[in-house]
Amino acid sequence: MPHTLIECYRAIEASSLQMLDAARSQDWETVVHHEGVCAVLIEQLRRQARCVELDAQEKVEKSRIMLRILGNDAQVRDLTEPWVAHCDARFNAQRQVLH
């Protein structure tokens, strides 16, 4: 578990990268797992950010980390959109059979 604010950012980045790796290999259970890990870490980060401030060097690192997280997230979305569309189509087909 991260102890400092910058460690929280680093942990979120690491989990987002693992999520991207899982999405690339179409391991959707692992994608969902790391999405949950990120949610927990983000909540932890929010709590810590209320009472801790980053120094100048950490702010620069935070900016770099955030850009990588956003890039990972965009790639995950690109990879998962076809899967989500497939699931929606199957769900809608099943719903039509039920009615």
Mean pLDDT over residues 77-97, rounded? 71
Q: How many CB atoms lie within 10 A of CB 37?
A: 17
Q: How many CB atoms lie within 10 A of CB 54?
A: 15
Mean pLDDT over residues 65-73, rounded? 97
Q: What is the pTM of this model?
A: 0.80
Confidence of residue 80 (pLDDT cuts 50, 70, 90): confident
Q: Write the DSSP assignment of 52-96 as a string of letters.
A: ----HHHHHHHHHHHHHHHHHHHHHHHHHHHHHHHHHHHHHHHHH
Quick check: 1 pLDDT over 60?
yes
Lowest-confidence segment of 27-31, 53-57, 84-88 by average pLDDT: 84-88
Residue 18 neighbours by CB under 8 Å, 6+ apart: 30, 34
The CATH fold of domain 5-98: Methane Monooxygenase Hydroxylase; Chain G, domain 1 (1.20.58)
Q: Give me 62's structure tokens.
A: 């935070």
What are the tens digits of pLDDT across the range 45-68? 999 999 999 999 999 999 999 999
